[in-house]
Each structure stands twice: as C-alpha cells, then as structure tokens.
Amino acid sequence: MLAVLVIDIQFAGAQLKTTVVCPPFTVDLLEGTVSGKLDCNSTAGEVKKFFPCFTADSLNSTAAKDCGAVLYKDRDICFFTTRNYIEIRERFTGKLVPALMGASRESLFRLLGSPKIKDVNWDAYQTKFGTLVLYYNKTGKINKLQISTRSTETLQLCD
C-alpha cells in the first residue's frame, strides 16, 4: 500500500505537453516572402504565431545590440525582426524558390542579372522588394542568403 502511495505522489506532478508543430518553410527569394504570409517587415509576434516552433529568441537581450531575432536553429533560418531581414543558411530544411542554395556564382546572371554590389565573398542584388544578399563558400557555391526590404545603402546586418 505504501509503495502505491509513493508512486502515485511521484506521478501527480507530471504534466502533459503538446509538441509544437510548424507549417513548412517556403522562402520565395524573388518576392521576399516566407510561406506567402510573412516578409522581412513582419513582427516577432507575427513570426512566432505563424511558426510557433522557434528554438530561441533574442528580443529582450541587451547583448543582442538591437538585433532582436526569432531563431529556428534546427531549420537554419532566422528572422531579424528589428533589422528587417531574414537569413537562410546552408542546412535550411524548407523550400527555396528559386532553389539557389548550393548554386554556383557563375550561374546567377540569367536569373538575377548583375549584382548591385560585388565582393569577393558575397553579392548584393537589388530586387523588387529590397535586397537579396548571397554568400559564397570557397568553391563559389551559395551557402547563405539574406533577404531584406531595405536597400543596400540602408541595410544593417547583425554579427
């Protein structure tokens, strides 16, 4: 009888928690949207409501230096809501339209034209929604992308 009472007391504090499920991430690089609902100007609240499976946020951190972000580390996408840009890294688990991740630098002219700013490691393209920044690995393949509603002159990236 005592053993049953002890077991009953131990399980009394357990709580059921539901698994947070997110819809698939689809990033349209030419329109500057995510899943047709969010864009670079979306608030942190809007992002968290649509994609509740975020792994972290730095919205209230003083160390974030005004770089408030909603992070999805397991999906390799981050919404920098205070700086109005979205960053997608090479292990992104969603869908990119067009599928540029891993594309070679030389193959982009037909789709994107000439970059507005060109660097050894990245190119910045002016788009109808703002700016698309493409970063390249040592073999010249895209390994990171950033989309922003800001122009190349006003874009402020976080470290």
pLDDT, position 66:
65
Spans of all domains in the chain = 24-148
pLDDT, position 4:
47
Half-sphere exposure (Cβ direction) of 20: Cα atoms closer than 13 Å: 9
pLDDT, position 31:
95
3-state DSSP assignment of residue 143? strand
pLDDT tens string, the chain, 159 residues long: the values are 544 444 454 555 568 888 878 899 999 999 999 999 999 999 999 999 999 999 988 765 555 456 889 999 999 999 999 999 999 999 999 999 999 999 999 999 999 999 999 999 999 999 999 999 999 999 999 999 999 999 999 999 987
pLDDT, position 6:
46
The residue ranges of DSSP E strands in the chain, in sequence order, are: 26-28, 33-34, 38-39, 56-57, 70-72, 77-80, 85-89, 95-97, 117-118, 122-126, 131-136, 142-148
Pair 69, 158: CB distance under 8 Å: yes
